[in-house]
Amino acid sequence: MLEGELLATSRSHIVPRTQLLQTLTGEPGFDPLFMAFDCLYMNGEDLSIKPLGDRQEILKAAVHKLATEFIRLSEPKRFSTEKELEIVGRWAASQPSSEGLMVKDITKPYHPGGSDDWAKLKTVVELKVTVLESKPTDVGYTYLCGLRSNGEAVQNPVRELAGQRYAELGSTFVTKLQTRPGETLNVRIEELLVLEGGRLAWGKPTVVGPDSSRESYLVSQAVDLARRGHVLKVETRIEDVSSWGPADAPIAFVAASPSELEKARDEPLVGPVGEVFNRLYLEPLGLEKSQVAVLYLVPKVEKATDSKVEAWNSRLMKELSRINPKIIVTLGKVAAEALEDLADFAMPHPAAILKHGDSGEVARKVRQIAGRLQELAKDDDGEDTRSAIAVREYERSWWQMVPRTGKGRFVLQAHWRGLSEEELDLSQEALLKTGHSVHCDLRFEIDSQSLWGFTVFEGSTEEIRSKGQGEARILHLTPEDSLQGAFKLLQPHEWLTIAAEKPYISSPGGVGATSKKFSKFIQLDAGEYEFSYARLHGREVFLHGSKLKGRLLMQYAPVGAKPGIGEEGESSTDRVWIVKKPESQEPYTATHNLADVVSELEQKGQDKLVWSDRPGDRPQILDIDGHNALSEKEYHAAIFKADAEKRLVFGVVSEPLTVDAQGDVLSEEEIERFAHNFLINSQKFDVRHNWKQVRASIVESWIAKSDFEWMGQVIKKGSWIIGVKVFDDDLWGKIKAGVYRAFSVGGRGVRVRRVRFA
């Protein structure tokens, strides 16, 4: 049983639906084509319960075996970063008759109907058009619409209405809205086609509503809007220079368009320009031209205008998706402006360097690229990194990562990365004799659909052999020891048993693997668990596995410290998640009074607590009373003095041992470092954290050396006080009017390496 879409083709080209509708009553003689998306049932086996990644491999083999021209595989394009998704999305949006992009989780089973496991992404724009003719139907109205024409070179029929000429676009979908000729409509479209011969056509025109605020767009305005919205689709010609580079190229260089010499040789960057490219751009990276990709916005010997860039955009995105480079580098200003934030680096074109020389920019950028390649190589070799996405998701919904009933199943798996095909049959004991990267994944059941998880960093294989008795350190963790870890994103329920019968192997590019190496999941233990409590910076469970038994604590604690449950550890700025197996088996909920815990969290500005009276009881998700009342007092430092004549305002930015705007508690030492970093690196102010800088400057700044009273307010020792001179008239007026009454810290952070998954 295959899932897919039945299409019609003519001379090997897919026939647009609009053309099909025009021929329904005749005998068009089109050939059928089934585009296969998924394989759900085969040879008596229900495949729908398997992860999508496995089903795709089965589908690929099945379509290949059928070997018929009437069934074609819809080749999936995998991605693991937002940038890769943007590349695929731009490519999909630019395809003729494209209906968008289906995004699916490759680890999930098949779910009929709506599901959180998949989403359909569409790129649309709204055009303002004039109604030229109203056409009543049995269920509503369709409207023949047009764009104002100033003599643009389009071959659409032209109609005159009230002295204005309009280029007809076609009729809208049926709508209940009633209007009349001459009125302006907002119509949402998914594509604007420039057909052969220069005729404009729109795709899926859906009426949004009337617009009496302005007249319809000119043809040129509509084309420009569609181009900027990535829905303009133009028939293109054959390129002058072919794409260059292997499918696994680590770097893709993108230039505007080729030269006559490049066309003659059908190779990018040749001659003297090529010599500069090889010597200054590639040799310092230890690369040869055959190892990188070189692409063009417009692969024709012509100027890369906006319309031509858009016309060739589909080809470029397809090539970038095929190559899937780790780094994208633009060559020249035109390419940099076209790709914008899709590019990782922007460099001068080698032709410009040949003509004007290098001011040092190329060498500087090459060093930066080399550093990025080294970081990515480390990640690809298997170094574990904390996912920023997982951290953000935990902070957003940690209180939902609990078992609905208070208990459930758990599994402990060893996750090996960076394995060769020859090493896939090695046992856990044999793998521990290698130097490969390994950590443990603890997965806990939430309900029948999903799991919450915790990654346990086990250390080196040598440490695991000595402290983990040849299995895993967490299985033999002593009360005096602890391990670091990190929370995972919510996972599909299938991961609970995926390695139960035999180890699970993930191919290169798959789940948990690198781009060129395999990963292997080995189940070490499984059983039941009971939930006890959870708060933002800690939680407790009781495990009943074959090997992993008893009380397990997960705490967000200062590095090197050993705080008790509930302590926030103000003495250190470097905090990590640690996992411990304490000697005492008495539950936290038995040794702590609920009211006291609520009061403590109230003081810390935290807003939720998940609590089970006894481990395994159905948990209560408690909203901490008084949180909102504390917000204004605790989270913002009030401006306590304003000098109207000098336009100066004074206030405390941060106070030790007090909850700040980020919900953190800082020590005096942390506040002092924070203040110094701001004065050295930033000194910028905005309004309500909108990131738009306002005209204000810090003129005074000091750390209180002792407690003192000023303007009726007690200033604590270690507090950071600032004086700010306001130059912006509007801002000063709002400060005097009491609209803005406090300084609010925008945030502090620790710079970490950006992870780009292969």
Same domain, 145 and 200: yes
Q: What pLDDT does 691 receive?
A: 63
Please check whether residues 668 and 695 belong to one and the same domain. yes
Q: In terms of domains, do 139 and 192 share one?
A: yes
pLDDT at 540: 97
Q: Are residues 376 and 392 in the same domain?
A: no
Residue pLDDT, tens place only, 288-305: 898 899 999 999 888 888
Residue-level pLDDT at 464: 92
Q: What are phi and psi of 473, to 5 degrees?
A: -65, -35
Count of structural domains within the chain: 5
β 620-623/538-545 pair status: unpaired
Residues of the chain scoring pLDDT < 70: 10-30, 91, 93-99, 113-114, 153, 196-197, 234-238, 377-390, 392, 509-510, 515, 558-574, 625-645, 657-665, 688-691, 711-713, 737-742, 744-758
What single letter denotes the amino acid at residue 651? G
pTM more than 0.75: no
Residues 187 and 47 in one domain: no
Q: Which residue range is the domain that position 300 belongs to? A: 251-380
* CATH code, domain with 89: 3.30.470.30
The two tokens of residue 463 are: 């440490």
Residue of 583, 573, 550, 578 whose CA lies nearest to 562: 578
Same domain, 453 and 363: no
* CA 98/CA 68 separation, integer angstroms: 24
Residue 208: the pLDDT is 93
> Mean pLDDT of all residues in the chain?
81
Whether the Cβ atoms of residue 557 and residue 653 lie closer than 8 Å to each other? no
User: Which residue's structure tokens are 């999508």?
Assistant: 52
Structural contact between residues 441 and 412, judged by C-beta atoms closer than 8 angstroms: yes
pLDDT, position 729: 80
Sign of CA dihedral 57, 315, 34, 99: positive
Return the closest-CA partner of residue 3 out of 51, 44, 42, 45: 42
Sequence-ordered alpha helix ranges (H) in 520-611 = 588-591, 594-604
Q: Do 72 and 129 reside in the same domain of the chain?
A: no
Distance between CA atoms of 556 and 579, rounded to whole angstroms? 9
| Of 596, 554, 556, 549, the residue nearest 572 (C-alpha) | 556
Is 449 among the domain residues?
yes
H-helix segments, 471-539: none
- Classify the phi-psi angles of 699: left when phi > 0, otherwise alpha if psi is within -120 to 50, otherwise beta: alpha
- Residues 315, 448, single domain; the answer is no
385 Cβ contact partners less than 8 Å away, ≥ 6 residues apart: 379, 753, 755
Contacts of 504 (CB under 8 A, 6+ apart): 498, 520, 521
- Do the domain assignments include residue 98? no
pLDDT per residue over 394-431, tens digit each?
Answer: 887 898 899 989 999 999 999 998 899 999 999 999 99
Pair of tokens at residue 395: 């902070």
Looking at the structure, do residues 436 and 544 belong to the same domain, yes or no? yes
CB 693 within 8 A of CB 685: yes
SS3 232: strand
Q: Please enumerate in sequence order all residues whose Cβ is within 8 A of that of 634, keeping only pairs 6 or more positions apart, or say none.
A: 605, 658, 659
Cβ atoms of residues 701 and 710 within 8 Å: no
Helix, coil or strand: residue 275 = helix
Sign of CA pseudo-dihedral 244, 247, 250, 255: positive
